[in-house]
Amino acid sequence: MSEAVPLLHNMSAPPRSVVKYAGLAAEAPNRRKTGLGDVFGTAVAFHLPPNLWRMGAKALLDVIGEGGGEGSPESRLLRFIEARARDLPIPDGAVVIPTRPDHLAPWPDALAAIAVITKSSDNIWLRGKFPRLSVLRNRRKVSLLIPPAFATKLEETTR
């Protein structure tokens, strides 16, 4: 005897529906190799300078040129991270992909790398995510897959 599991039912679709999505594969003139195979978008890398990943908030503020100021070093650093994340011309969310040496790195500043790394999980970068400074101990680089619409903006801002 088999019994249906109510959690697996979707009321808006018949139980035997199959959903397939081929994406924009046939329409993609901007396909590039990213380390994941042939995908649609541009890979952009963010790298921390050497030895920066072992520093605390106060030392990081000195490196980015914002050593003095009001408040605790952590709160000041978080404000700078949020401001830099808002300024980056990339989408509000992007897929994190394996970093390769041939990925574009248009923003060499340490604060851009800190902002992206602290707002990234293993799979996704989210501009609205609260930065986690603790990830700087284990991660020194991140690459994001940027969709073609944003890649055009990216090319304009890096010229």
Q: Give the span between the Cα atoms of 120 and 127, in whole angstroms.
A: 9
pLDDT value for 53: 62
d(CA 69, CA 125): 29
- Domain assignments of the chain as residue spans, ordered by start: 31-157
Q: Does residue 78 surpass a pLDDT of 70?
A: yes
CB 81 within 8 A of CB 115: yes
When computed from its CA atoms, the radius of gyration of the chain, rounded to whole angstroms, is 20
pLDDT of 37 reads 52
Count CB atoms within 10 A of the CB of residue 146.
Answer: 21
Q: Which helix (H) or strand (E) holds 146?
A: strand 141-146
From the list 101, 66, 99, the residue with the least C-alpha distance to 83 is 66
pTM above 0.85, yes or no: no
DSSP for 21-83, please give it.
--TTGGG-TTEEE-SSSEEESEEEEEEPPTTGGG--HHHHHHHTT----SS-HHHHHHHHHHH
Average confidence score pLDDT of the chain: 78
Of 86 and 10, more confident: 86
| 2-38 per-position pLDDT tens digit | 455 455 555 565 566 665 555 544 544 444 444 445 5
Residues 50-70: tens digit of each pLDDT: 877 667 888 888 888 776 677
